[in-house]
Amino acid sequence: NCFSLLNNRRVQGTLGPEPESSGNSFTLSFEVDRELNAAIIEEAHVLDVPVSRVYFAVDDDPTFYMPLDWGALVPLWFLGVPLNPQPKVVIACPDRNILPWGLSAPFGLSIRKAAEKLNRRIVFVASADLGHAHDASGPYGYDIASQEFDTALLDAVKAQDLARLLEFDLDWLKRASTDSYGQILNLYGAIDGLSFKVELLSYEVPTYFGMMCAAYDPV
């Protein structure tokens, strides 16, 4: 019943090969920013946000790593692999089935405060798909709420007004079958009150789920 921070010395994961692909796969491994993890814990506790550090086996032994799934691997492939030296990472995982949505923005704020405390320049990645019920033949079936949610989110991003998400109806969100509500509230908490400009890079519905990519830069 809390946000979890992966806290082994390293995280690692593999994507592929997919059955319909040519057999390609890739494996990524990153060092964890445990100092920033500790600072996030401190700031979250000040804001009464439940956060814990999660370990696998021997946390100080680099041969033991916390596994990553596609939600972290895909953005890290584009944002981490090309950099030399590679950045240290913080991987946060919410308990979406139990945690109140009202804690999502304060958790994002705790990340910002931790970075400020350590005088760190960080990149915040909110990784998730949008509505999952765009296609009747998909695993979630069809519900107009998916299209409505995606449109409402796109409008909020374009207007630079993520606070709108705080007014979204929770039953409607369930119908939309979205993964992204909490993560974007994390982002809102991290940048609220600061001066950022946004660039909407893309939006598409490749199969049964919506996908958006937007970049926020400080000004």
pLDDT at residue 10 is higher than 90: yes
d(CA 126, CA 90): 12
d(CA 91, CA 27): 17
pLDDT grade for 70, boundaries at 50, 70 and 90 = confident
Strand-pair partners of 14:
27
Q: By residue range, what is the domain housing residue 74?
A: 3-125
Structure tokens at 137: 């033949």
Q: Tell me if residue 14 falls in helix, strand or coil.
A: strand
Percent of the chain with pLDDT over 70: 98
The answer to the question of residue 219 being in a domain is no
Residue 90's Cβ-count burial label (10 Å; 0-12, 13-18, 19+) is buried
Q: Average pLDDT for residues 128-154, to the nearest whole number?
A: 96
The answer to the question of residue 177 being in a domain is no
The answer to the question of residue 213 being in a domain is no
> What is the chain's mean pLDDT, rounded?
92
Per-residue pLDDT of 116-139, as tens digits, reads: 999 999 999 998 899 999 999 999
pLDDT at residue 86 is higher than 80: yes
Q: Average pLDDT for residues 160-188, to the nearest whole number?
A: 95
The answer to the question of residue 158 being in a domain is no
- Where b means 16+ CB within 10 Å and e means fewer, 29-62 reads ebbbbbebbebbbebbeeeebebebeeeeebeee
What pLDDT is attached to residue 15?
A: 84
The answer to the question of residue 113 being in a domain is yes
The answer to the question of residue 69 being in a domain is yes
The answer to the question of residue 184 being in a domain is no
DSSP one-letter string for 70-81? HHHHHHHHHHTT
* Domain CATH for 56: 3.40.830.10
Q: How many domains does the chain have?
A: 1
The answer to the question of residue 51 being in a domain is yes
Which of 54-58, 88-92, 101-105, 178-182 has the least mean pLDDT?
A: 54-58
pLDDT grade for 21, boundaries at 50, 70 and 90 = low
